Structure 1
Amino acid sequence: MPVCIRNMQSVIRVNRRQLKKHAKMIVAHAGYQDYDVGLMMVHNEEMRQMNHLYRGKDEVTDVLAFPYHEILPENAGLLPEVHPKERILGDIVLGMPYIALDCLKRDEDLQTTVLSIFTHGLCHLVGFNHESEHEWMQMYREEVKILEKFNKFSGFHCKPLLGLGHYE
């Protein structure tokens, strides 16, 4: 279960070894330890361009997820049977300067927040979404489940990205 990390930004210092260790733990606690995940960290401008290109939103965001397998919302969390060489969840892109600034504004720990956002992206890779309140509740419960296991094992205090009732 490789987690491949690529840091393409130079604004925010990142301990890649530690992040990789914790990301692998999150993937394992989510039950996807046999799958590969890519994690890329980018500058705000790259994130804005990707958000515009793939979502039609000309603004910076914290996370984008690019799933390898198409999973319908009603099958969220259920991965298709695939050849071992296709055991890939997809790629998660983090806008690190955006995340860091948001952490400063909210007086939150960057490392904890990045792990929460990674978990949110991971849920997107396996079909969870938040286009409706029902979908948000499913995704929120999945994030809680994963993060509670991770927190218990790691000593972190990660929490889901947004609280109950907040959906796009």
Structure 2
Amino acid sequence: MIDIEIEDDAWAEALPDAVILVRSAALAALDGAQMRPKDAGADSGLVAVLLTDDEAVAELNAEYRRKAGPTNVLSFPAAQNPEGFLGDLALAYGVCALEAEQQNKSLADHLQHLVAHGVLHLVGYDHMNEDEAADMEGLERRILAGLGVPDPYAAEQGDHD
């Protein structure tokens, strides 16, 4: 249900279990948002996640958001479709690793937070105003607690979209 591609080997070198971490966070976010269909087959991908480098995310950020430079995670919701595909996420290794270090978090915890955050964007959550942010952050906290990840909002967070 979760298609994962590791384009930047730095992810696999830093986190040999990156695929497991991404899959568990994405599925937990879908469950938390009550969006995981019970009848989805093993071959049907609901979410595609690209673990890539800063340069690739900077290119996507410039092309689709008209913003310069990389960001930690980009979410690309899919148009409604009969397959139930929700969309794509792209995560930049360098940005994520630096944020984790600056925020005194493990890269594994930060990755799971950003994947859950991105998946919630794919299913319609946002943080454009205080009420939306409170709802989304509360759900993220519950999802991550279920994964054994500490509250990501206890420390300063980086830019995320």
- Confirm or deny a common fold (TM above 0.5): yes
The equivalent of 2:124 in structure 1 is 127
TM-score between both structures, scaled by the size of structure 2: 0.77
Q: Hey, what's the Cα distance between the residues in 2 that align with 1:39 and 1:19?
A: 12
Mapped to 1, the partners of 2:123 and 2:155 lie a distance apart of 20
Q: Is it true that 1:22 corresponds to 2:24 in the alignment?
A: yes
Distance 1:103 1:20 in 2: 16
- Partner in structure 1 of residue 75 of structure 2: 65
Q: Residues 43-83 of structure 1, C-alpha deviation per residue, up to 9 Å, x if partnerless?
A: 1011111111111110211000011146xxxxxxxxxxx64
| 1:137 CA displacement | 1.8
Q: 1:68 to 1:160 in 2, by over 3 A?
A: farther
Q: Which has the higher contact order (CA 8 A, sep 6+)?
A: 2
Q: 1:114 to 1:122 in 2, by over 3 A?
A: same
Describe the shift of the 1:4–1:158 C-alpha distance in structure 2 as closer, same or farther (beyond 3 A): farther
- Aligned-residue offset at 1:33: 2.4
Residue in 1 that maps onto 2:143: 146
TM-score by length of 1: 0.74
Match of 1:32 in 2: 35
Residue 159 in structure 1 maps to residue 151 in structure 2: yes
Alignment partner for residue 56 of structure 2, among 46, 56, 59? 46
Structure 1 pair 146/46, CA: closer, same or farther in 2 (3 Å)?
Answer: same
For residues 159 and 98 of structure 2, the distance between their equivalents in structure 1, rounded to whole angstroms, comes to 22
Asked if the contact 2:71/2:159 (under 8 Å) is kept, the reply is no
Aligned position for 1:10 = 9
**Closer, same or farther: CA 46–17 of 1 in aligned 2, 3 Å:** closer
Unaligned regions of 5+ residues in structure 1, if any? Answer: 71-81
Which of 74, 92, 99 in structure 1 is aligned with 2:89?
Answer: 92
Residues 44, 98 of structure 1: 8 Å contact kept = yes
Q: Which amino acid aligns with 1:29?
A: D
Question: Structure 1 97/28 Cα, relative in aligned 2: closer, same or farther at 3 Å?
Answer: same
**Relative to 1, partners in 2 of residues 1:122 and 1:158: Cα closer, same or farther, differing over 3 Å?**
farther
Which stretch of the first structure deviates more once superposed, 47-56 or 33-42?
33-42
CA RMSD in angstroms, aligned pairs only:
2.8
Instruction: Measure, in 1, the Cα distance between the counterparts of 2:51 and 2:144.
Output: 21
